[in-house]
Amino acid sequence: MRKTGCGWRMAALCLLIGLAVCACTAGHKNADMDVPKRQFPAADNQGNRKFTGLYPASVNSIGGNKWGYIDKTGKFIIQPKFSLAEDFQDNGLAVVTEGDLTGSNLSGVINDKGEFVIEPQYDHIDKFSEGAAVAVGKKGFTVVNEKGEKLFESGDYVGGFHDGLAVFSKNVESGGWLCGYIDNAGKVAIEPKFEIAGDFHNGKAVVKLDTGGCAVIGKNGEIITTFNYGYVGDIGDGMLVFKEKDSDLFGYMDEQGKVMISPRFSGAEPFKDGVAIVNVSGNYEENLYGLINKKGEYVIKPEYNDMRMLGEGMVAVGIPLDRDNLSKGNKYAVANREGKLLTDFIYYGVSDFEGEYASAYDNTSTFFIDKSGKKVEDLPVFKGSGTLQFDGELIKADVDNRISYLDKNGNVIWQSKADVVLNGQYTIEEMKYRPNRNYLAYYPRISGIADETARQEINEKLEKMAIPEKVDGDAELDYSYQGDYGIEMFKKNLLVIKFTGYTYPFGTAHGMPNKSYAHLDLKSGKLYQLKDLFKANGNYVEKLSRLVGNQIKTQGEEPEIWADSYKGIRPDQPFIITDRALKLYFLPYEIAPYAVGFPEFTIPYEKVKDIINAEGSFWKAFN
């Protein structure tokens, strides 16, 4: 829950990189789940989502995870070949992502036969709405239909479709932009003339006029009502949030401008089903959320640090875990729309209700709850934090960054398990370290190394690379951590494992990602360093520094790298070995802004063959 001071927000797109490593299993009970024996409720009674009969699932492989789609028996119908696969939508289409030759991931759209309707060419594709979707790429925003035809392009912004219209913006010569609307054929329906524009609902939208004030408009752009206020929010149940000036408090008025609830809230959300969430806190360091009815009366008193409507007449209310450090998060209770608390504050997360059920998690497990707010004892329970949902004929569990599916009889028909058999000798087993809900790390354990002492030492080193620190299970941390790994390469005797991690200190703008690579000789048990690739007198630091520096100098007019910050590479510079090249990389902020991530430089072996130790064990391990 957030304080709200603006009714319209131009979308800022975030591309999320999911951690998912999976493999097929069937017909058994996982140690991380407690499966009841009774038959589950019919899935078609749990929500309104239409379903194609295909479910996204992935297998772990050398070079990364590959996603495809299984049926209700756990059989792959569309083979795993994508780097990411989203759920099929109601129109029988799904967004998938593939890697290209440059290492970038591009998104496209497939049908239920796995055929591309839209070839992978965009950085991101939103869900289809009213027959169209908004795709974002190098050229900006593109509206595409379900046949893959491009309907409209804008370098500025295009929103989703509502009531047959979508907001778009256009730069103007005087600076800034103006907003208008296009229809779902890609034609301009209302010329850009508004400073800000909201989505249409029931034939009406709220806009901010470039001449000052706000208005409700119709689908032809006609002004229905004007308001001489600095802010007016979207229409909800015939009511609009407003405030006269930016420094004023929020109140509610009807569509004709009559004040129905006097301004007295520091934050206010639109009405839905006769109630609205408001905030009466006088500062931005704490929240005092409550729930009001259309008379402005409190249904739930304004005393909570968080509040969220869950659908089906249910509400989640949250209190701080630590009042001296609100950024640590909240514990939640479930209430009904009449304001009755149905549970104590026992949950750390609650999902929306779909029909009779929602999912929730506590410090140890994820499970279903019913409309009493209580845990449903005879539905499945999973160890870890995440969500459960009825999905077509199956139940889908997305817990601790791993996905599982169960049929209606409680049988596990597919679950995430990332054990990988490299060859007849070596197997990599996935292990999980989760001392509490804020700390999760997956790490590999290798079997098949003949020397038992060497095997134990190697596995201990790999575990330390994956787990930055051990955590007390009862500790309330000031941060969260998630870590994972993947198999980048296995050639001859060399195994390359990639470790990724993300540390988020609560209350900060963003966390800090990290990655590292283990270059392991499975025959000798040695973990190689960068220096092991080169001759002892090859001056590899000097030569590699020069090659990287030359690449930085060839940047365009808008360089991503801070050239002045680059002082050469370190002797222990982070690196990764591939078949054809050495890749060197830097951590965020070292030589580039945070948004650049990990600046990477590729050095073909041909350019450094004079200093490579071709007789050394590192080079011979994969050549």
The secondary structure of 298-338, three-state, reads: EEEEEEECEEEEEECCEEEEEEECCCCCHHHCEEEEEEECC
Give the pLDDT confidence score for residue 47 in this predicted structure.
44
Position 601 in a domain:
yes
Position 192 in a domain:
no
List of residues 6+ apart from 31 with CB closer than 8 A = none
On the 0-12 / 13-18 / 19+ scale of CB atoms within 10 A, 441 is buried
How far apart CA 361 and CA 436 sit, in angstroms, is 12
How far apart CA 521 and CA 524 sit, in angstroms, is 6
CB 597 within 8 A of CB 557: no
How far apart CA 306 and CA 189 sit, in angstroms, is 39
pLDDT tens digits along 76-129: 999 999 999 999 999 999 999 997 555 578 999 999 999 999 999 999 999 999
pTM: 0.85
How far apart CA 337 and CA 375 sit, in angstroms, is 19
* Rg of the Cα atoms in the chain: 27
Give the DSSP H or E segment for 502: strand 494-505
Position 310 in a domain:
yes
Structural tokens at position 325? 């450090």
DSSP-assigned states of every residue in 207-265: EEETTSSEEEE-TTS-EEEEE--SEEEEEETTEEEEESSTTSPEEEEETTS-EEEEEEE
List of residues 6+ apart from 173 with CB closer than 8 A = none
Give the pLDDT confidence score for residue 417 in this predicted structure.
65
How far apart CA 483 and CA 229 sit, in angstroms, is 48
Give the pLDDT confidence score for residue 447 in this predicted structure.
92
Shortest CA distance to 326 belongs to which of 284, 361, 279, 269?
284
Q: Which residues partner with 361 through β-bridges? A: 349, 366
Give the pLDDT confidence score for residue 196 in this predicted structure.
94
28: containing domain: 1-49+305-410
List of residues 6+ apart from 258 with CB closer than 8 A = none
Position 432 in a domain:
no
Give the DSSP H or E segment for 44: none
Which residue is associated with the tokens 């965020």?
Answer: 588
Give the pLDDT confidence score for residue 7 in this predicted structure.
32
Give the DSSP H or E segment for 544: helix 540-553
How far apart CA 297 and CA 289 sit, in angstroms, is 13
Shortest CA distance to 491 belongs to which of 66, 81, 63?
63
Position 312 in a domain:
yes
The single-letter code of the amino acid at 582 is: L
How far apart CA 480 and CA 440 sit, in angstroms, is 8
Give the pLDDT confidence score for residue 24 in this predicted structure.
34
How far apart CA 192 and CA 420 sit, in angstroms, is 55
Report the CATH number that the domain containing residue 613 is assigned in CATH. Answer: 3.90.640.20
Number of other CB atoms surrounding residue 71 within 10 Å: 18
Position 501 in a domain:
no
List of residues 6+ apart from 11 with CB closer than 8 A = 157, 159
Sign of dihedral through CA atoms 303, 306, 309, 313? negative
Final residue of a domain: which of 366, 393, 410?
A: 410
Q: Which residues partner with 480 through β-bridges? A: 504
Q: How far is CA 483 from CA 18, 368, 473, in A?
A: 11, 26, 17
Give the DSSP H or E segment for 75: none
The single-letter code of the amino acid at 328 is: K
Structural tokens at position 581? 């090249």
Final residue of a domain: which of 381, 410, 439?
A: 410
Which segments of the chain have a pLDDT < 50?
A: 1-28, 43-49
Q: How far is CA 179 from CA 187, 191, 379, 567, in A?
A: 14, 8, 48, 46
The single-letter code of the amino acid at 390 is: F
Q: How many domains does the chain have?
A: 2
Final residue of a domain: which of 385, 410, 435?
A: 410
Position 426 in a domain:
no
Position 313 in a domain:
yes
CB 166 within 8 A of CB 159: yes
Query: For the chain, how many residues are written?
Result: 623
